[in-house]
Amino acid sequence: MKRLRTLFHEVDNKEPCDWPKLRQLLIKRDVTAATLDQLFHANRADGAGYLVEVLDPAGYQALGDHLGIWADLTDRASAAIHGKSHTVPVSGNLVVVKSASNPYPVVFECDSKGHWTYPTLPGAELVLVENLENFLARDGLIPYLRDACGAAVDPQNTDIAYGAGNAITKACNDTWLASYETVYCFFDIDAGGFRMFESLRRLMAGQSVGIQFVAPKDLGALLATTHRRLSEEDREKLAKYQHCAPPINLLANTLIDTGKSLEQEVYLNDK
């Protein structure tokens, strides 16, 4: 939907746009080719893209209203009126954390105004665990990170947080993450894990916190045991990370060379 809004914005502002893509997206939303011919006329622009003329302004407005192009999506409450609350991020966040100073997991909360509440003070270091199964098996996590991954994690002063997949990259998390000296990212070794890590690295750029991606030293042996083979789409996604800073570029190269990727639950077998 974000892409469709961008294309409509370019049409509104008489800017060159990707007309084949706009046409494709509208046809996917059950707009017929005949209707598109009635609404638009596209001419190739100088350079890249097309200049798209609106032939029927009233019909164009009706189409945009039907698709929710101009809907107020500034927050989930406004978006809900249009049935599109799921397209807008939640304003705050909840993170389950096993604090170094508490024997049981607690919830760190960011309210809708961006204010964080910590039931226990954050430790010096944090391990972000992408998947719930690994978080639930956290008793052996710190030794595994130290012994199998070579991460210098301090067991006495390290929090462990369940990242809930991509939710950990929410912008509101920057305040909480900045309270740590080092954040270890214990993610799947695949394009999704790399994407989250690079998102966090951009989010925390300029902050004093160190962001590290951790991977087993015996990655090659683990990849040899997995049957998770790369598709052509996987390879295309991984190729984007071959130009990133270490270790992401090196890991991406390894996955492409072996033709495999790794879900972090595999580590639970590596004891």
Asked if residues 215 and 149 have their Cβ atoms less than 8 Å apart, the reply is yes
β-pair partners for 40: 54
Question: How far is residue 186's CA from residue 200's CA, in Å, rounded to a whole number?
Answer: 13
Phi-psi region of 114 (alpha: psi -120 to 50; beta: other; left: phi over 0): left
User: What tens digit of pLDDT does each residue of 206-237 get?
Assistant: 999 999 999 999 999 999 999 999 999 999 99
β-pair partners for 95: 108
What pLDDT score was predicted for residue 49?
87
pTM value is 0.73
| Mean pLDDT in consecutive groups of 10 residues from the start of the chain, 271 residues | 88 91 95 95 85 95 87 62 63 91 92 92 96 93 94 94 92 96 97 96 94 96 93 95 95 97 87 53
Name all domains of the chain by residue range, CATH numbers in brackets.
Answer: 2-87 (no CATH), 93-269 (3.40.1360.10)
User: What tens digit of pLDDT does each residue of 249-267 get?
Assistant: 999 999 999 999 999 998 8
